Every structure is written in structure tokens, then in C-alpha cells.
Chain A
Amino acid sequence: MISFIGRSAIQKIITLFFVSIVSFLIIHIAPGKPSQVDPMNPKFTPEVVERFQKEFHLDKPLHVQYFYFYKDLFTGETISWKDNQSVLTKIWERFLNSLPLFIVGTIITWTLSFPIGIRSAIFRGKLYDRSATFLSYLLISIPGFFFAYVLIIFVVNQFHVPVIGMDTFGIRDGASLLSIFMDRIWHLLLPSVLGATGGIAVLSRYVRSQMLEVEGQDYIRTARAKGLPPEQVHYKHALRNALLPFVTMFGLILPGLIGGSVIIESIFSWPGMGRMAYEAILARDYPVILTVNFVSAVLVLAGTFISDLLYLVVDPRIRL
């Protein structure tokens, strides 16, 4: 156990090191320079460009820049080139904005996909199963931005509620607590439903196939042969065993924390992580891009690590 933790920690640190090199190289070798973002701006005289390059070590060779950047990152001193703010506080603020989207989206995904998946496994081949299957393919295939506009048209026309942004502008002064709360809920609902669609489709299919796998086992036949009521067989004998792999998925949803959806957040003007990354890409704000990349790589690695550990704890057959 201890040796497994140690080995995989070392492996993940090495992977992280290479990820940092690759992302740094991708950004810096790509054509174009951050000092050329706005060549038409009259304030961008050659002296200013030179000062800019000196300030951010852009005149140094690449490996020195790499060293400077990650030294700043680990001491928490990285600053955005665009507005001189600390990158970590910037990410933290945006992260707090994205967090409700992530939490509501995850709750919707997990509460909807389990009942759907289990039901379609029990009624395998029947109308319910077939329509759920088709619906999940539909949800996987629909482009998020198109679905967003369909939902916006529907909700705005039917319920006459505002949906763009995090809250209605100026609602804070003079409105009752309840209406502020409802306003927040309405604004939160559409983006998180959209964030959950793909997840519901994939997860419910996965639940269905896990349930089918378990329902084909011998002990389920034995339970049926004993004359147990079908509910007890499905929910007590089959479901408990089918749930096993999903415990490990708690680790794998971790990267979703920072990913955010660039497209959804820009449609809904939600000031979250995805939009910050998108704006940073447009402005060639390298420290922000690299930091987001690095943090998400850390989360991916931590997620797989946690899911390995959970699997170890949950399934006694696995001994590493």
C-alpha cells in the first residue's frame, strides 16, 4: 500500500514535469509574440516593447524563461501580463464563480443518470430502454452551443426570466431576499443543465452496462430462483455490486472543477474559469494560460490517484 502510494506519486511528479515542459514549449514556439498583440496601438513604441520584454524576461533564452516562470508559480508570485494582477488570486476568484455551476451540474448528472440507467437495464430491450438509448445518443451528439440557444429561446419565451450572466444587473438594491435567490437560481439553471447533458448521457449508458453485467451473474439467478421479489433482486443484490466501479469515478470528476466549458461560459457571459482562459488565449497572456494548464494537469493526476486509491479501498480483490 505504502509502496504503491510512493511509486505512483513519483511517477505522477515526473509526468507533471514533462507536462510543464511540453505546455511551455507549445506556447513559446508557436508563431507570434506577446509583445506584438497590439501593433497598431500608438503607445506601443519600440522602447515600451523592449521594457515589456525585459520586465517579463522575454529577452532571455527559453530554458531561463522556463525556470523563471515555474519559480514564480511555486512561490505564488506569477502575475498576469495583461493587468499585473496575481494569477493565483485571479484564478481563485474565477474558480469561486465556476464552483456553483460545477456543483449543480454534478448533482444533476449523478441524480438523473442512475435512475435512468438502472431502469433501462431492468427493462432491457423494451420501449423505455430503446428510447433512453436514443435520447442519450441525441444528447451526446447535440452541439452544446446549439442546445444552449434552443434552451434560451424556450426558457425566455415560456417563463420570461432572464438567463444571461450570473444575476440580473442591479437586482441587489431594493429587491426582497426571495427574488434575489430565485434570480440566482434561474441564472444558474441553464448553464449547469447544459454542462450536465453530456455527463448524463455517458454516465447513464455506463450504469446500464454495469447493471446488465451484474444481472447476468449466477448469484442473481440464484436469488431469483429462491423466489425473492424482483425489487429485492434488482436493488439489493444487483445494484450494490454494480455500484462498485462508480465509487472510483468520484476521483475522475475532479478535473471538471477547473475545466469549465469555454463555450457555455461565453454564451451565458458567466465569469468563470473557462472564459478567463479563453480571454487569456486571445490576449496571449502566457502566465494565465500556463497556470491554468498546470493546475488542470495537477487535478487530472490527483484525480486518477484518488480513484486508484478508492478502488483499492472498495474492492478487496485488488492487492497491489
Chain B
Amino acid sequence: MNIEEKKVTKDYEFETPLAPKQARIQEFWRLFRQNRLAILGLFIFILFFCCAISGLMMTSGPDPLLDPAMIRLQEKLRPPFAKPNLDSLRREEIPPLGFYLMGTDDLGRDVFARMLQGAWVSLTVGFVAVGISVFIGIFMGGIAGYFGQHPIRVDHILMTLVLIFGAGLLLADFTRSGSVLLCLTLAYIFYSFRTRNRPGKKRLPLWQKFFRKNAVSVDTLIMRLVDIMLCFPSFFLILTVVALLPASIYNIMIVIGLTSWMGTTRFVRAEFLSLREQDFVAAVKTLGAGNFRIIFRHMMPNAVAPVLVSATIGIATAILTEAGLSFLGFGVPPPHATWGNILSDGKNFIFDAPWLTFIPGVAILIVVLSFNLFGEGLRDVLNPRLRERH
């Protein structure tokens, strides 16, 4: 008996297909390592991350190690590596390094400290803006791809419009008419739930039939929204909104995020449309898994590759956009340094103090380049079709 059982298991093991020798991540790393530029990008990205974190710690707080806001008017426009004139400085004004690593600007502020402070701004703007846009993109694209064929009825559209209008009235201090509209909508929602759950079919009167008519599908609605958003010239739109809103770093992140989700939506939708028809999704469905489990546990891991690539390149674009906005004078309010506004302040001294232009410019260039190289490397590895061709 015992011997027989062993034999059976042995035979069984022999016939099962062997698992791949390498785990997915190992295979990924092996391919990624071949791309030297992408490795360089990853290395610079990690370096930049460390710089930004340590810069945040060194330049913030009540008594920072390197004070980016300290003004030394007698030490203005000193070149990089210049030694401070110790006689003219008070004790607390002497830079802790003993010299100005990246020189000083037109108010005698230490450019090194300002660059460290700006690194954190660039990092957070890049990541938060792309985080927002990826979140919206996955959400919209997932809905459009998975629930795309679901129709939206005329009454849904009308009720949404009335709801928005009512909320707007409420916000604009028309309390009475606003709350009446809101109550009306809520009552209608309650009514439609009641009628939906009621068993048995009744013949509806004509006017109700009109409201129950299917107007558009979810997919059409979302893709038309994407089309509308793509009609705006993006930098101009961001500039308009940022200029109209009060200046703050959070507004910039939100605005960049809200104006750049269209690409992700299209990728995710396209992936979902093809994944939805595949056998494993049908299998999970027959097992009785819920929609959310199917979307997030089974379909999303298969659709995440193009999103990851576009997010990496999106971070580069967001950093460039933020730098451009600070260069034009919008964005983070003045005492706080960003790479864009260091460059923008320095451009007036471009022939006398070129380091004020070159240091932030080269820093932006290197960081953005590292993100682009890393993103392209990811694309080559994650997309098997491209891999074969190269």
C-alpha cells in the first residue's frame, strides 16, 4: 500500500509541467541588468531620493543644519567652492561645510542648501502628481474597460445633473432651493431602488419609459471625457488654473495630476478590453468571485506594466512642468526654494554668475533624464514584443 502510493505520487510528479526555473522577478532583473542606461537611471533615481530625504531633514525644522533662507548680503554671488570671508560674518552665519559648495546667490543665500530644499519639492510634486493621475487613470480605465457595455439611462443623467446643480446652489448660499433639489434627487433615488427590487413586471407609462431609455454606455461616456480633456493645451491649462488659484505646492500637484490622467486611462482600458475576454477571467467568474476581486486581484496585475512605464515617464514630465511653472513665477511661494525658481532668480546674473543657472538646470536635466531612461528600460523589459525585436 505504502509502496504503491509512493509510486503514484512519483508518476504524478513526473507528468506535471515543470515550473520555470527562475522566479518572475529574477527573470525581470536579468533582462533589466542588460540595459546599462536603465541601470544608470535607477542608480541616479535612488541617489536623488536619498538626497531629497536628507535634504528635507537638513534644511527644515526650527534650527536647520543648512539654512536655505539665511541672507548674507556681504557674501553675495560667491562662486562655487569659495571660502567665506570669516571676518565679516557672525558666528551663526558661517556655512557649516566651511565653504560654499555651490556658491551663493544674489542675496548671499547658500545655493547648496537651497538646492537640497528644492530637491524635496521636485520629488514630492513628481510622485504625488503622478500618484493622483495614475489613481484616476486606473479607476476610469478600469470602469470603462470592465463595465464598458453597461448602459446609463436618461434618468441617471438627469438626476446627476440635478444633484450637481443642487449642490452648487447650496454652496452658493441659495440654501432653500438647493436643499429642495437635493431632497428631490434623494427621493427619486429611493423610489428607483424600490421599483427595481419589486418583483413582477408592470407596464410602465410612456413618460417613464422615456426616462428608462438607455442613453449612452459607460465606455462612451468616459472616452468622450478623455477626448474633451485632450482638447485642452496642457501646459496652458495648468498655467491658467495655477495662476487663478492661490499659490501653494499642493495646488500644483493636484492640478498636474488632474490634467494628466488621460494616457493611463487609455492604456488600462485597452488592456482590460482584451483581458476581459480571456479564459482565466471567465474561470474566476464561474468560481463566483465578485467584480472587485476580479478587477483588482486578477486583472490589474496583468494590466499594470504599461501603467508603470507611463507613470515613470510621467514623473519626469511632472518635474519638468513644475520647474517650468516656478520659472514663470507661479508655484511654490518665494521664500521656499525650488529648482525652477533658483534658475529663474539666477537668470538675471547669467553672465556674472553662470552657476546660478547651470547648477539647477543640470540638476533638473539629470533627474528627468534618469526617470526617462529608467522608464524606457522598464518598457523594454516588460513588453515581450519589443524585447524580441531588439
Contacts and interface: CB of A to CB of B under 8 A. Distances in A.
B231 A297 contact: yes
Interface string B354-390: 1001101110110011001100100000000000011
Contact of B244 (A16, A22, A30, A259): A30
Interface string A130-141: 000110011011
Given A30-B244, A292-B236, 7 more contacts: A31-B245, A137-B369, A137-B373, A145-B323, A146-B357, A153-B351, A263-B328
B372 to A, nearest CB: 5
Contacts of B373: 137
B361 A143 contact: yes
A19 interface: yes
Given A134-B37, A141-B316, A145-B343, A31 B246 contact: yes
Contact of B243 (A18, A212, A282): A282
A306 interface: no
B244 A19 contact: no
- Nearest first, the 7 A-B pairs at minimum CB distance are A146-B361, A30-B244, A141-B369, A141-B368, A297-B231, A281-B243, A19-B231
Interface stretch (B69-77, B203-211, B222-230): B222-230
Given A30-B241, A143-B324, A149 B347 contact: yes
A316 interface: no
Contacts of B280: none
B49 interface: no
Given A19-B231, A138-B369, A300-B230, A216 B361 contact: no
24 contacts: A19-B228, A26-B241, A134-B37, A137-B373, A137-B376, A138-B365, A142-B365, A143-B320, A143-B323, A145-B327, A145-B344, A146-B360, A150-B358, A153-B354, A216-B389, A259-B236, A262-B239, A263-B328, A281-B244, A292-B236, A296-B233, A297-B231, A300-B231, A301-B231
Contacts of A277: 236
Nearest to A281: B243
Contacts of A153: 350-351, 354
B43 interface: no
Contacts of A259: 233, 236
Given A30-B244, A146-B357, A277-B236, A15 B323 contact: no
Contacts of B347: 149
A11 to B, nearest CB: 8
Nearest to A258: B233
Contacts of A296: 231-233, 236
Contacts of B343: 145-146
Given A143-B365, A146-B343, A281-B243, A293 B232 contact: yes
A255 interface: yes
Nearest to B362: A146
A153 B328 CA distance: 20
B320 to A, nearest CB: 6
Nearest to A213: B389
Contacts of B237: 26, 293
A27 interface: yes
Interface of B: 37, 224, 227-228, 230-233, 235-237, 239-241, 243-246, 316, 320, 323-324, 327-328, 343-344, 347, 350-351, 354, 357-358, 360-362, 364-365, 368-369, 372-373, 376, 389-390
A170 interface: no
Given A27-B240, A153-B350, A216-B389, A143 B231 contact: no
A6 interface: no
A124 B241 CA distance: 44
Contacts of A281: 239-240, 243-244
A23 B233 CA distance: 11
A255 B233 contact: yes
B351 A137 contact: no
B364 A146 contact: yes
A233 B197 CA distance: 68
A15 B368 CA distance: 34
Contact of B357 (A137, A141, A149, A212): A149
Interface in A257-272: 258-259, 262-263, 266
Contacts of B358: 150
Interface in A123-165: 124-125, 133-134, 137-138, 140-146, 149-150, 152-153
Contact of B239 (A16, A19, A138, A278): A278
A289 interface: yes
A142 B239 CA distance: 20
A18 B246 contact: no
A174 interface: no
B286 to A, nearest CB: 37
B181 to A, nearest CB: 16
A146 B365 contact: yes
A15 B229 CA distance: 10
Given A149-B347, A281-B240, A143 B368 contact: yes
Contacts of A23: 232
Contact of A27 (B244, B344, B389): B244
B327 A15 contact: no
Given A30-B245, A145-B324, A146-B343, A140 B364 contact: no
A32 interface: yes
A300 B160 CA distance: 29
A149 B369 contact: no
A57 to B, nearest CB: 18
Contacts of B369: 137-138, 141
A141 B244 contact: no
Nearest to B37: A134
A280 to B, nearest CB: 9
A300 B357 CA distance: 35
B160 to A, nearest CB: 15
A146 B343 CA distance: 8
B232 A15 contact: no
Nearest to A32: B244
